[in-house]
Every structure is written in C-alpha cells, then in structure tokens.
Amino acid sequence: MTNANKNTIELYIHIPFCVKKCFYCDFLSFRALASDHEAYVDQLVREIRARGAFCQELTVATVFIGGGTPTVMEPELIRRIMEAVGENFTLEPDAEITIEANPGTLLYNKLPVYHDCGINRLSLGLQSADNEELKNLGRVHSFEEFLKSYQSARMSGFTNISVDLMSGIPGQTLESWKNTLKKVTMLKPEHISAYSLIIEEGTPFWDQYGPGAGRVKAGAAFPLPDEDTENRIYHLTRDFLRDMGYNRYEISNYAKPGKECRHNIGYWTEVSYLGLGLGASSYMDGCRFSNEKDMRRYLSLDLEHDCGEGLRELAGPVEQLSREARMEEFMFLGLRMTRGVSEMDFVRLFGVKMDTVYGEKIRRLMANGLLKKDGVWLSLTEWGMDVSNFVLSEFLLS
C-alpha cells in the first residue's frame, strides 16, 4: 500500500568513505583519512540541523545510513550522527534504523555502539560465500570474516540482519551460488537481498567486461556466467529461498514474515525521502533534488548561519516531476513488488482511474500472461517477473 500519511518521511544518510573501491562499484565513494571523516561528520551534523529546522511537522519512519561503507568510520562518529538525527527530527517510536556494513570493517567494539544509539537493523554486504569470488569482485573481506561479524552482531543484540548477495559475478557457477545460498540461510538472517551484477561504465569491470555483460574482453581473468547459467541461478534463488521460508516481496528481495525492509518499500511506494550528506538524493512533495557531489564544495558550504541560502547551494536545481512522470514511477517501481500496485492508490494519488491511463497496455500484458489482477491489486506473474525489464518499460508514457 502506498503511504497515506503525507507527514511521514524517510531519511537516507550518505557516508562516502570506504577502504577501497570494489571492481563493480559506481557509487559516490572513496578512501579518506580519519581527519576527513571527522570534518565530514561535522558538516553532516550541520546539515541535519539545518534540514531538521524545515521538517518540524514531519515524522521519520525509517533511517538508512548507507555508502560507501559507514562502518569504516570510528563508531563515535556514527553516534554523533544519530544524536543529531534524534535532536532535530521526530522519529516514530518503532522507526526502522539501518546501517550498511562491510564485514572487513565491522569490529566487535563498533556493534554495541550502533545498538546503543538506536540502530536496530544491520545490512551486511557479503556478496558471496566463496573467497575466490570475493577476490574477483575486489572485496576487502573473506567469508570467515563475515561469519565473525555476523556472530558478533547477534551477540550485540541485533535481531534484524539483512545479507546482501550478488549473482552473475566473475568465476561463479550454479553450484557455487547454491553453496552461497546454503551457507547464508543456515545462519537464518531475517532478510536477504539477491541482486545480479550490473556492469557500470567507469568501473574496472567495464574495462574488462563491458559494454555487454557476458562478453569478456582481452585480459579478463575470469569469465562471467553465460546466459543459461544466469537464468538457472535466478530460478534457483527464487525456489531455494522460498523453500527456506523467505517471502519474495520484491524482484530481488526476500524476507522472513514481517522483516521486509520498510525503508526500501518506501522508495517503491511514493513515500517522501530526504537525503543527507554528499551527493544524497531526495524526493519531497513530487520534487527531486540531489546534494552537492564535490567533497571540497560540500565542506565549504555555510549550513549554520544562513540555512536557507546554504541549503539552496547544497541542493542545486529542483526537478518538479510531471503528473505523467509520477504515474510512470508509481507503476514501474510498485510493480517490482510481488503484491504489485493498487488501483485505489492510483486514484487517490492522481485523481484518475488506472484503467483510463493504462487500460489497453494492462489488458494486453494480462492476455500475454505477464500481469495478473487480484481485486484492486495488479501484479507481475511469475513469467512477468522473469522478463520484468520488458514489462515495466511498457508503462512509460513518453
């Protein structure tokens, strides 16, 4: 269901630092000194105060601290961030508060600090249980380090842990992927994200494998799985995790009952979100804007003495989404979820029936077995999930 409370928002807090860039990563992240970490958090706290002053009437349902690798910083810096959030925003009593973590940076002394300052969900980036595959990805940790981090998190009181996995990676086979699924599900995490590798321009993998995943350029040490293996991996993931008690609630996300990621569901269901920190994106009242991406410029902004002007410089131009663009996003983000989209929510948001805008396309996709209806809900069929990129593209209006 789409968020009905317009006074509720989500917060995303970006920490751009990491130990080293993975070979596939195109996120805004880089290595930095401890002194840079402190200077960044000083400015981030100023931004939190400045933004919070304009959000007094809003309540925060979820907070997601992502990156980069937030856990590369000293834990007291995370505590400072959370204290600033608590002092300047109104958090719902049951707010979901997540921090992303890489096992190679998650020392035991950090976890109690995270737990004590209100973080109640941990997202661990494993990617693979095969150490050779981890090396192929440029990861900074081993599977054994992941196990220690996971066990330490449980001992520190974390009862909501998500594990990120990646398929279609160099050197991976169907058998090695199945082994990864077995090892991870034995630990009984509450949530598993299982994404396919995307070769992004500007990354080392682009030089080795792009512009077309599956084609290996000269010098690539390990081939990517072929298309048949990727298809088998995709279906194995769905069936294996279902049999292990995980509900597939989105194309690439699986959870134990009641442990779906509320923050991500917000992204997919038109909930407003405010991005804080370097390069963070926001979506508020049908408008989209992004923070300054240059570290020096970000640190130089005056976010204390003249908040209005400083925030305008920070965010840059604001894009007002057209009604048609919002309809498109409602459909192709909402249909990523297995429950699909609600005709009632469509009418409430846009003042027109879904059938009036998309009726012909919906009927054609249903006739071809790609969409199904259950009452007011429209969702992808199993086959529709298999070819979701095609189906979702059908809802573009321009």
Where along the chain do its domains lie?
Answer: 8-268, 324-393
Please state the rounded mean pLDDT for residues 59-85: 97
Q: What is the pLDDT of residues 389-398, one digit of tens each?
A: 999 999 998 7
Residue 38 exposed, middle or buried by CB count within 10 Å (0-12, 13-18, 19+): middle
Phi-psi region of 157 (alpha: psi -120 to 50; beta: other; left: phi over 0): left
pLDDT given at position 104 = 83
Q: What is the pLDDT of residues 223-251, one digit of tens each?
A: 899 999 999 999 999 999 999 999 999 99
Helix H or strand E encompassing 101: strand 90-101
Q: Which of 293, 275, 296, 297 shows the shortest CA–CA distance to 284?
A: 275
The answer to whether residue 218 scores a pLDDT higher than 50 is no
How many Å apart are CA 243 and CA 20, to the nearest integer? 36
Q: What is the pLDDT of residues 108-167, one digit of tens each?
A: 789 999 999 999 999 999 999 999 999 999 998 999 999 999 999 999 999 999 999 999
User: What is the band of 217 on the pLDDT scale with cuts at 50, 70, 90?
Assistant: very low
Letter string b/e over residues 228-237, b meaning 16 or more CB atoms within 10 A of that residue's CB: ebbebbbeeb
pLDDT given at position 308 = 74
Q: Which of 300, 217, 378, 245 shows the shortest CA–CA distance to 46?
A: 300
pLDDT given at position 213 = 43
Q: How far apart are the first and last CA of the chain?
A: 26
Please state the rounded mean pLDDT for residues 317-339: 95
Q: Which fold has domain 324-393?
A: Arc Repressor Mutant, subunit A (1.10.10)
CATH number 3.20.20.70 is the correct assignment for the domain at 8-268:
yes
The answer to whether residue 221 scores a pLDDT higher than 90 is no
User: What is the band of 310 on the pLDDT scale with cuts at 50, 70, 90?
Assistant: confident
The answer to whether residue 361 scores a pLDDT higher than 70 is yes
Q: Which of 175, 177, 173 shows the shortest CA–CA distance to 185?
A: 177
Q: What is the pLDDT of residues 313-327, one digit of tens each?
A: 999 899 999 999 999
Q: Which residues contact 226 (CB under 8 A, 6 or more apart)?
A: 214
336 vs 216, residue with greater confidence? 336
Question: Any bridge partners for residue 373, and if so which?
Answer: 378
Please state the rounded mean pLDDT for residues 244-263: 97
Q: Which of 230, 20, 195 shows the shortest CA–CA distance to 123?
A: 195
Percentage of the chain with pLDDT > 70? 95
pTM over the 0.85 mark: yes
User: What is the band of 3 on the pLDDT scale with cuts at 50, 70, 90?
Assistant: very low
In this structure, the number of other CB atoms found within 10 A of the CB of residue 242 comes to 12
Q: Which residues contact 368 (CB under 8 A, 6 or more apart)?
A: none
Torsion 183-255-154-138 (CA) sign: positive
- Specify whether the CB–CB gap between 47 and 85 falls below 8 A: no
Q: In what order do the strands lie in the sheet with 377-380?
A: 341-342, 377-380, 371-374
How many Å apart are CA 389 and CA 278, to the nearest integer? 30
Q: What is the pLDDT of residues 12-63, one digit of tens each?
A: 999 999 998 888 888 899 999 999 999 999 999 999 999 999 999 999 999 9
pLDDT given at position 220 = 52
Please state the rounded mean pLDDT for residues 284-309: 90
How many Å apart are CA 307 and CA 314, to the nearest integer? 10
Please give the torsion angle defined by the CA atoms of residues 321, 355, 273 and 309, in that order, rounded to the nearest 10 degrees. 20
User: What is the band of 5 on the pLDDT scale with cuts at 50, 70, 90?
Assistant: low
User: What is the band of 215 on the pLDDT scale with cuts at 50, 70, 90?
Assistant: very low
